[in-house]
Amino acid sequence: MTGLAESIESMEQLAVVWRAMVLDRDSDADVRDLPGIAVRWADCRFAFWNCVTLTDVGADAGVLAQRLSRAADIMRSKRHPGFLWVFENLLDGDARTALRAAAEQAGLVYAFSGTGMAGDLLPIPEPTHPDLTFVRVTTDGQLQAYADINSRAYGFPLEAGRDGLVGSDLWKNRVYAYLGMRDGTPVTCAATVEAEGRLFVVLVATDPEWERRGYGEAVTRKALYEGARATGLTRATLHATVAGAPVYPRIGFAPNSPIGFYSLAPGSTDG
């Protein structure tokens, strides 16, 4: 794949996976494909399930300004906050230069950055870690532990992560979600899910108390190993945080597009 093709793949994988995730959370979720915008909004307390992303390829600065304004209007209409995802390599050069200022003009503020990644890397060897045993998530108790690790890792209230995941049949049956257990305590987690001929890595997190021990890499390898073994897929995709970006190339992922995450500016809501 070319660099642009992989950036398009990264955006499309988000749209596909988040459709399933938010409809699993709420069958009446706002899932729409508008001109240049994909809405995937569960309107729950778990902010990652409240997502809008730009889908134009080669948008110029004028189109970008229009899309940002429309995205901000959509976000203002919701009860719960979420994020606009912008795959920056899908914009033309002038639009990339104008992005931050145009976002501010639309009432959005830069929240954090990420990186789209992909690779033809499967199968991989079955992973091990001297500190960990791996358990597949199949019960609500295990799913709550998974949610709580994500909440602690990303700075969300515990109730937010639980609102996004606990009770999900999708996560207990069709997602290859794993906990890494240290002396019986869940300390890290990762999952993969099949998405249009690829395995998509989702919601990797390690309890902040147990970071920098290789736990996140180990449990990600486990989720990839089991997902590939079950599906026979050979290509995988993910969206990395700044913390995770150095880890995934060791598994075989290569970066494609920078991703900017934007939230509504304070005072920019309808109420």
**Is residue 106 located within the same domain as residue 142?**
no
Average pLDDT, the chain: 96
Q: CATH no. for residue 151?
A: 3.40.630.30
**Is residue 86 located within the same domain as residue 156?**
no
Per residue in 154-167, pLDDT (tens digit) is 999 999 999 999 99
**Is residue 103 located within the same domain as residue 155?**
no
Report percent pLDDT > 90 for the chain: 96
Q: Which domain holds residue 61?
A: 3-115+258-264
253 assigned to some structural domain: no
**Is residue 14 located within the same domain as residue 75?**
yes
Per residue in 73-128, pLDDT (tens digit) is 999 999 999 999 999 999 999 999 999 999 999 999 999 999 999 999 999 999 99
Distance CA 124, CA 178 (A): 16
**Is residue 51 located within the same domain as residue 94?**
yes
Distance CA 224, CA 221 (A): 5
**Is residue 85 located within the same domain as residue 174?**
no
146 assigned to some structural domain: yes
Tally of domains in the chain: 2
Q: Is pLDDT at 268 greater than 80 in this prediction?
A: no
**Is residue 76 located within the same domain as residue 139?**
no
**Is residue 88 located within the same domain as residue 138?**
no
246 assigned to some structural domain: no
Distance CA 219, CA 229 (A): 15
User: What is the value of pTM for the model shown?
Assistant: 0.94
Q: Is pLDDT at 269 greater than 90 in this prediction?
A: no
pLDDT band at 3 (very low <50, low <70, confident <90, very high): confident
